Amino acid sequence: TPGPDSKAAEFGATGLQPQDQPIDQTLTTRQGHPLTNNQNIRTVGNRGPATLENYAFLEKISHFDRERIPERVVHARGAGAHGVFEAYGTVGDEPITKYTRAKLFQQKGKQTPVFVRFSSVIHGGHSPETLRDPRGFAVKFYTEDGNWDLVGNNLKVFFIRDAMKFPDLVHAFKPDPITNRQDGQRIFDFISNTPDAMHMITFLFSPWGIPANYRLMQGSGVNTYKWVNQAGEGVLVKYHWEPVQGIKNLTQEEAEQIQAKNFNHATQDLFDAIESGNFPKWELCVQIMSDGEHPELDFDPLDDTKIWPTDQFPFLPVGMMTLNKNPENYFHEVEQVAFGTGVLVDGLEFSDDKMLQGRTFSYSDTQRYRVGTNYLQLPINAPRKHVATNQRDGQMAYHVDTAPGQNKHVNYEPSSLNGLKQPAATAPDHMPQVSGRLIRQPIDRTNNFKQAGERYRLFEDWERDDLINNLVNTLQPVEKHIQDKMIELFTQCDEDYGRRVREGLQNANPNGQEALGQGRPIGAAHTNEAVKEAEEIAHSAQP
């Protein structure tokens, strides 16, 4: 897999080459000056004071002062790897051409390089990888038609179905703005007023909320997309990554044992596996549904809080991804990589899913701020094909995307002076008919509880026990009116679900005292005794 550290990246696409000098290990400044004293700043006498013309020192320290870029507002903690996607050329038993003209899927055995970034969502760049949190699963395909990003999570559903609610959801899960601690009281205050989240909460508080590591988890595009064929006809699709290594999740107790010893276990597991040649693989499967509202279903096909039942919409394999190369530089590749749901190639399309449309604005907007205006010129983000645009300049502009032989005075289009030319479309656009009043309203078939109840009943006993235990532990310090609202929501999913949480809370607080409302993070110790013990140790350690 071509890495980003090619000579072109080193010397830039300007065509400038270093002067004819041997390339050795001489330490220099970024200006190319040999750095003959990297131990001492320049001072008057060896005790100081220092002088201001210390260029080599000023250049070194001021670059250091700027070593960090803002971390991702969500999904800050991550690990990544390079690999390859190999197409089957079919979708299940059918030729793939029936559904999509996207070139990367067409021929059996066709290989496309990929870069993948796995992540956790809520906490900062060095937070423990054992926390209860969805895991990100973002894949960049460097296709012959330009880049395709499939930005997914490990879980197949999401908390909310309207992009307007995303900043509130994230604020509720992030640390309290005053205490700077994650707080179950704030989380369940929001969730008890957001019944859309019940399916996701049921997954998140079960062992599925702590995958054992990145290799042993699934991935899903979550939102509904479209595939478009050569005739411009579209179908709805959902994407799923199935790990060949299998799936393993952790109970809260198992996660705590790992966290006590290693808070980087998932990054380490991925890196070590690839380094030792044990390359992880995922099969890409799709579910397909004809385009339309499907009134016969009890959910809306564009609702990302729902799973499409596999008995009606089976998983159809389309290819295999293998991760086979670790990053050469974490910052260049894993930190600066930028994925977005708007990054699609011909044959792949958006659906009308309004969450997906909200996401699509958000990703490139944040990346222009987080990485910079010219983030697409960085080797990890640049397509592995020639790029020719009339976009120019901006902070950190690295080179000009011109075509060979073009008139370099022409940075606009149309032109008769040998500028870039708009190509003809090779296939008809997908042109769905859209009409309706402009409104702000939730969808009709919200059906918030049915699939959450089914999930509760589908869990194995140990998963259900862990779910109840984790919910009770997190809800126990939460104010009673919020507990009651949550019990009501769990009961609507399944009577047994509500009863077990209610009884768990009663047992945890037999005297029925009103909780103080002082919350606990969702990865807190799993028994009350353990919490008490930990709090005693923490207090006794204070001066």
Q: Considering the complex, state which of residue 240 and residue 485 has its C-beta at the smaller distance from ligand HEM.
A: 240
Q: Is 453 in the site for ligand HEM (CB under 6 A)?
A: no
Stretch that binds ligand HEM, among 14-22, 148-156, 395-403, 480-488 (CB under 6 A): 148-156
Q: Is 74 in the site for ligand HEM (CB under 6 A)?
A: yes
Q: Is 357 in the site for ligand HEM (CB under 6 A)?
A: no
Eight-state DSSP code of residue 208: G
Q: Please count the other Cβ atoms lying within 10 Å of the Cβ belonging to residue 52.
A: 7
Cβ at position 71, least distance to ligand HEM in Å: 8
* Binding-site member from 339, 449, 456, 490 for ligand HEM (CB under 6 A): 339
How far apart (Å, rounded) are the C-alpha atoms in residues 541 and 543? 7
Q: Determine if residue 195 is left, alpha or beta; phi over 0 gives left, psi from -120 to 50 gives alpha, anything else beta.
A: alpha
Cβ at position 169, least distance to ligand HEM in Å: 8
142 labelled as ligand-binding? no
Q: Is 154 in the site for ligand HEM (CB under 6 A)?
A: no
Residue with tokens 């089976």: 314
Cβ at position 193, least distance to ligand HEM in Å: 18
Q: Is 347 in the site for ligand HEM (CB under 6 A)?
A: no
- Contacts with ligand HEM, 9-48, as mask; x by CB under 6 A: ----------------------------------------
Strand, coil or helix: 321: strand
Q: Is 199 in the site for ligand HEM (CB under 6 A)?
A: no
Eight-state DSSP code of residue 478: S
Helix (H) or strand (E) holding 143: strand 135-143
Q: Is 73 in the site for ligand HEM (CB under 6 A)?
A: yes
Active site residues: 75, 153
Q: Is 403 in the site for ligand HEM (CB under 6 A)?
A: no
Q: Considering the complex, state which of residue 121 and residue 250 has its C-beta at the smaller distance from ligand HEM.
A: 121
The footprint of ligand HEM on residues 509-528 (CB under 6 A) is none
Q: Is 367 in the site for ligand HEM (CB under 6 A)?
A: yes
Q: Is 197 in the site for ligand HEM (CB under 6 A)?
A: no
Dihedral of alpha carbons 180, 181, 185, 188, sign:
positive
* Binding-site member from 3, 113, 175, 358 for ligand HEM (CB under 6 A): 358
How far apart (Å, rounded) are the C-alpha atoms in residues 407 and 384? 24
How far apart (Å, rounded) are the C-alpha atoms in residues 82 and 117? 9
Q: Considering the complex, state which of residue 73 and residue 244 has its C-beta at the smaller distance from ligand HEM.
A: 73
Q: Considering the complex, state which of residue 148 and residue 363 has its C-beta at the smaller distance from ligand HEM.
A: 363
Written as one string, the DSSP assignment of 496-517 is HHHHHHHHHHHHHSTT-PPP--
Q: Are strands 219-220 and 316-325 parallel, antiparallel or unpaired?
A: unpaired
- Contacts with ligand HEM, 302-331, as mask; x by CB under 6 A: --x---------------------------
Q: Which tokens belong to 234? A: 């579209």
Residue with tokens 């659906």: 351
* Binding-site member from 362, 373, 509, 528 for ligand HEM (CB under 6 A): 362
Diameter of the chain measured on Cα atoms: 86
* Binding-site member from 100, 112, 119, 381 for ligand HEM (CB under 6 A): 119
Q: Is 153 in the site for ligand HEM (CB under 6 A)?
A: yes
Q: Is 138 in the site for ligand HEM (CB under 6 A)?
A: yes
Stretch that binds ligand HEM, among 317-325, 362-370, 384-392, 473-481 (CB under 6 A): 362-370
Q: Angle 531-532-536 (CA atoms, 0-180°, nearest 5)?
A: 120
* Binding-site member from 4, 56, 75, 308 for ligand HEM (CB under 6 A): 75
* Binding-site member from 77, 82, 101, 117 for ligand HEM (CB under 6 A): 117
Stretch that binds ligand HEM, among 57-65, 308-316, 363-371, 497-505 (CB under 6 A): 363-371
In one-letter notation, the amino acid at residue 318 is V
Cβ distance 120 to 265 under 8 Å?
Answer: no
B/e letters for 318-356, b = 16+ CB within 10 Å, e = fewer, are bbbbbbebbbeeeebbbbbbbbbbebbbbbbbbbebbbb
Q: Is 152 in the site for ligand HEM (CB under 6 A)?
A: yes
How far apart (Å, rounded) are the C-alpha atoms in residues 104 and 91? 13
CA neighbor of 204 nearest in space, from 301, 260, 261, 122: 122
What's the chain's length in residues? 543
Q: Considering the complex, state which of residue 153 and residue 402 has its C-beta at the smaller distance from ligand HEM.
A: 153
Q: How many residues bind ligand HEM (CB under 6 A)?
A: 28
Question: Shortest Cβ contact with ligand HEM: which residue?
Answer: 136
Q: Is 370 in the site for ligand HEM (CB under 6 A)?
A: yes
Question: What contacts 24+ positions apart, CB below 8 Å, involve 327-335?
Answer: 327/80, 327/81, 327/82, 328/3, 328/4, 328/5, 329/5, 332/4, 332/5, 332/378, 332/379, 332/380, 333/4, 333/80, 333/82, 333/115, 333/380, 334/78, 334/79, 334/80, 334/117, 335/69
Contact positions vs ligand HEM (CB under 6 A): 72-75, 78, 117, 119, 136, 138, 151-153, 158, 163, 166, 222, 304, 337-339, 355, 358-359, 362-363, 366-367, 370
The binding site consists of: 363
